[in-house]
Chain A
Amino acid sequence: DAGVTQSPTHLIKTRGQQVTLRCSPKSGHDTVSWYQQALGQGPQFIFQYYEEEERQRGNFPDRFSGHQFPNYSSELNVNALLLGDSALYLCASSLGDSGETQYFGPGTRLLVL
C-alpha cells in the first residue's frame, strides 16, 4: 500500500524564479492538502484540493497556486519566489472532504537564495 509520495525531495531556487512541487496521495485517497512548514514552526495550511477543485485556502498570496489531476495527484506552484518561501512543503492526503485523518508525505525542502 503506497503512502504519500512527493517530488523532488530537495530544491534550490533563486529569488524571482518559479517552482512546481508534486504529490501523489496515498492509495484510495482523493483529497490533497498542502502545507508550508518554516523552521521551528508548525505546518501552515496553504490549500486543499478535492474533485480537482480548490476547496479551502489558508492565508497565502496568489503566488501560491495548485492543481489536482483526475488521478488525484496534485501540484503546488509558487511564482516570484521570495527568500521567505524557503521551507519544508508538505503534502497530506485524506479520503473525502469531511475532515478525515490526513497522512503526510516526506515533504520537499525548498531553499530560495
Chain B
Amino acid sequence: RKEVEQDPGPFNVPEGATVAFNCTYSNSASQSFFWYRQDCRKEPKLLMSVYSSGNEDGRFTAQLNRASQYISLLIRDSKLSDSATYLCVVNENFNKFYFGSGTKLNVKP
C-alpha cells in the first residue's frame, strides 16, 4: 500500500471552472501536509500547507480530514496558468516526506 495516493487524472476543465483534487494517506500519525505544484520538466514548488482548520489562499482552498485521512485541494475560477501536476505531500515523522504520484490538471480555453 502506498503512503500517499492520488487520482492521476488528467482533469480536463474549461477556464473558470472549479475543480477539486483529493489525496489519501496511510499513516494516521502523519504530522504535516502540503500541496506542491509541478510544471512539466520543472521542480515542485510549494502551493500551500494544509492545516486541520482548513486554509485558503486566493482561489485555492486546502482542507485536511484526519479522521478519514484525506487532504483536498479546491481551485476556483481556473486559469490557463493553473495547468500543471499537483502533488500531495505528507510528512510522517518530521523528517520523512512522502509524495503522491500527482494529479494532472489541464485547463482549456
* A interface list, Cβ under 8 A from B: 33, 35, 40-45, 48, 50, 55-56, 58, 90, 92, 97-99, 101-107
Contacts and interface: CB of A to CB of B under 8 A. Distances in A.
14 contacts: A41-B102, A42-B100, A42-B101, A45-B98, A56-B95, A56-B96, A90-B43, A99-B32, A99-B91, A101-B34, A102-B97, A104-B43, A104-B45, A107-B43
Given A42-B87, A42-B100, A42-B102, A55 B43 contact: no
A52 to B, nearest CB: 15
Contacts, number: 53
A98 B43 contact: no
Contacts of A104: 43-45
A45 B42 contact: no
A60 B63 CA distance: 32
Contacts of A44: 99
Given A90-B44, A101-B34, A106-B42, A43 B91 contact: no
A45 B43 contact: no
B46 interface: yes
Given A99-B91, A101-B34, A41 B96 contact: no
Contact of B46 (A35, A40, A97, A101): A101
Interface residues of B, number: 23
Nearest to A91: B43
Given A42-B4, A44-B99, A58-B96, 16 more contacts: A33-B97, A42-B6, A42-B87, A42-B99, A42-B101, A43-B99, A45-B96, A48-B96, A56-B93, A90-B43, A101-B46, A101-B49, A102-B97, A103-B46, A105-B43, A106-B43
A99 B94 contact: yes
B31 interface: yes
A72 to B, nearest CB: 16
Contacts of B31: 99
Contacts of A33: 97
